[in-house]
Amino acid sequence: MRPSLQVFLAAAAISLILHSSLALESYLTKVQNNEGKNSQTAANLTEKYSFIPAGIAPFLVELRGLEMGPCKIELVAPHSMPLITCNAASHSRQLIIVAFRHRATHLRIFGHYIMMWLKHARRRSNFALIVIEQTEDGRVFNKGALLNAAVKLATANKTTNFAFSDVIIHDVDHIPASDILNYAPTLSPRAVHFATAYSKKSYRIPYPNYIGGVYQLRMKDYVRINGHTNRVWGWGGEVDDFYIRMNANAIQVEHLRSGLYGGRYECLDHDASEKSTDWASVIKSSLKGGWKEDGLKNIAFKINSTMLVDADIFFETGNISQSVFKEKKFLGNSRSNLFVKIAVELLDNF
Ligand SMILES: [Mn+2]
């Protein structure tokens, strides 16, 4: 290659990188500055990207069944367990779970961004993203229980229990913003902690054994450690308990490198309310082996509603009308990605 061409290509690559990260930052700043204000920009954004929870009609659709590559999801009845079946070829399908409540603006931004991110040519396209929402039940948020519920749903069919080879737990307020983040399927027995550098903490990891924000492990390991605790009510702590579970089962954690060019995420703002008060006692119990009786095994919940979003069409057209959903294309078998939002009612027996 001629030197001048090399220089040109390097410059082009650098400008592309700068451009995309600047675009992301200005996009986020714009959205956050306008959040809650009735400005023209917010209105435009809402009009363009809003799909949850008010004004959802153009982007959401309830279906009886949907095929996603080798997998199929069927809703037997609106309030029943969706039945997810996959054939043997689907062993590298990824499951991404986002526990969710109240943060509609976050989900709007995250949903839009993560789909673009995942559809990026260098990243894997066969995934199912489940946004699992806790219904208004007068109780505080229970993230661990919601995550367990999502895994339970995704593995409900016993014959294809591990059709999802691995699972990524993803906070709704974490926007991936680094090229070293690669949500590829993992075969490694080590868990991966992605969110080691997030804007809220000056791109540093807050403490050495922190694994929060975004983390990935093999589905069989998630099952082996009995998932997350169901006993932490309120925000925070369940992830430290998860670390204890991994530790008790000799699952090592690989942290991506920290710093601006590490496992970098831009965080969406929120206030720190409804903090959990019981996490320390839960961890104490887990350290004594209590994790075996508290988790995926005894999660109990009821489906409140299921909504399927066709990510491919949503993000290709940006602004689509109801009529798109009626087209054959949408109901065809060609899609490989699934974006589903499931609201569940947690039952009180754990
Ligand atoms: Mn947060």
What span, in angstroms and rounded, lies between the C-alpha atoms of 62 and 180? 36
Compute, in angstroms, the gap from residue 100 CA to the centroid of ligand 1.
11
Mean pLDDT of 192-205: 90
Q: What percent of the chain has pLDDT over 70?
A: 59
Compute, in angstroms, the gap from residue 283 CA to the centroid of ligand 1.
21
pLDDT in tens, 320-341: 333 333 332 332 233 456 677 8
36 occurs within a structural domain: no
Q: Could you tell me the residue range of the domain that residue 204 belongs to? A: 50-346
120 occurs within a structural domain: yes
Q: Which residue has the higher pLDDT, 89 or 109?
A: 109
Mean pLDDT of 81-88: 51
What span, in angstroms and rounded, lies between the C-alpha atoms of 256 and 87? 33
Whether residue 191 contacts residue 243, with contact meaning beta carbons closer than 8 Å, is answered with: no
Compute, in angstroms, the gap from residue 173 CA to the centroid of ligand 1.
6
Compute, in angstroms, the gap from residue 108 CA to the centroid of ligand 1.
15
Instruction: State the Cα torsion 278-283-286-292 to the nearest 10°.
Output: 50
Compute, in angstroms, the gap from residue 48 CA to the centroid of ligand 1.
25
Q: Which of 69, 60, 122 is nearest to 92 (CA)?
A: 69
Compute, in angstroms, the gap from residue 171 CA to the centroid of ligand 1.
7
182 occurs within a structural domain: yes
Compute, in angstroms, the gap from residue 213 CA to the centroid of ligand 1.
8
- Flag whether pLDDT at 28 surpasses 80: no
Pairing between β-strand 127-134 and β-strand 82-86 as defined by DSSP bridges? unpaired
CB atoms under 10 Å from CB of 341, counted, come to 23
CB atoms under 10 Å from CB of 151, counted, come to 25
Q: Which of 237, 188, 179 is nearest to 211 (CA)?
A: 237
Tokens 């930052």 appear where?
Answer: 25
30 occurs within a structural domain: no
Compute, in angstroms, the gap from residue 59 CA to the centroid of ligand 1.
26
125 occurs within a structural domain: yes
Which of 61-75, 94-108, 290-304, 317-331 is predicted least confidently?
Answer: 317-331
Mean pLDDT of 211-227: 95
Tokens of 81: 């367990």
Return the CATH number at 302.
Answer: 3.90.550.10
* Count of domains forming the chain: 1
Highest mean pLDDT pick, 77-81, 170-174, 268-272, 340-344: 170-174
What span, in angstroms and rounded, lies between the C-alpha atoms of 199 and 273? 19
Which of 147-151, 202-206, 225-229 is predicted least confidently?
Answer: 202-206
Specify the amino acid at residue 339: F
Compute, in angstroms, the gap from residue 307 CA to the centroid of ligand 1.
24
Q: Which residue has the higher pLDDT, 333 or 134?
A: 134
In this prediction, residue 7 carries a pLDDT of 53
316 occurs within a structural domain: yes
Compute, in angstroms, the gap from residue 327 CA to the centroid of ligand 1.
38
Mean pLDDT of 136-162: 81
What span, in angstroms and rounded, lies between the C-alpha atoms of 164 and 151? 9
Which of 112-116, 173-177, 245-249 is predicted least confidently?
Answer: 112-116
172 occurs within a structural domain: yes
When pLDDT is cut at 50, 70 and 90, the band that residue 1 belongs to is: very low
17 occurs within a structural domain: no
